[in-house]
Amino acid sequence: MSGEPEAAGVVSVVVVDDHPVFRMGLSVLLDALPGVTVVAEAGSAEAAVAAVRAHGPDLAVVDLHLGERQPSGIDAIRGVLRIRPQTAVLVVTMLDDDDSVFAAMRSGARGYLLKGAGPEEIERAVRAVVNGEVILGPAVASRAVAYLTGLRSPGAAPVPLPELTAREREVLDLVARGLDNPAVSRRLVLSPKTVRNHVSSILAKLQAASRAEAVVRAREAGLGGG
């Protein structure tokens, strides 16, 4: 992280991630880019807001998973933009499900990359979002396009339970096949907490009083092998 005063025209960045090793590595990478300087690091939503308030950065690079007991990265995005709307937000995370992508973009993020992104892809995203563009990593973009075209293609087969997101339908399909939450977590490579959140959202959207009722609705719609 640069200790020098910020020069005119230099893009200032705050890096927000609760994993110190990844946060440090990303900070080193960004700080080495021409015309970019990392002015602060933060490991929580609260620390992110404090860093943005203190430094007024051009860009906040935010992970969405900030620990089980901390507010989420979505809270960090909202907090950052509430106190400094002109700060661009780029998400760099392991989470690639539809809910996470759309929640981040709805909250004001301008870019979304997965943590497997290479240095050139990260640099391109940094410069794009700071310039006001919206950018998605290739894997995320292809999923977003498939999701949108699947909903809008003329003559396409009706989407079962369209009130659910694609990820929620995946989760419900597995639940309707008899898998419990830990098994769904392993199958979809999601954290147990994320699976629980999806199940709660499914019950709310379907107005189902129980998991069993949601399974019945799923099988009636053709999910779960029904």
Q: Domains of the chain by range and CATH?
A: 11-142 (3.40.50.2300), 158-220 (1.10.10.10)
- Model pLDDT, residue 7: 46
Name every residue whose Cβ is closer than 8 Å to that of residue 153 and which is 6 or more positions away in sequence.
none
- Model pLDDT, residue 79: 94
> Which tens digit of pLDDT belongs to each residue from 132-141?
999 988 877 7
CB 126 within 8 A of CB 33: yes
Block means of pLDDT (10 residues each) for the chain, length 226 residues? Answer: 53 96 96 96 95 97 80 88 96 84 88 91 95 86 63 57 84 93 90 91 89 92 80
Helix (H) / strand (E) containing 72: none
Helices H, strands E: what count in the chain?
10, 6
**Three-state DSSP state, 152:** helix
pTM of the model: 0.64
- Model pLDDT, residue 68: 62
CB 107 within 8 A of CB 77: yes
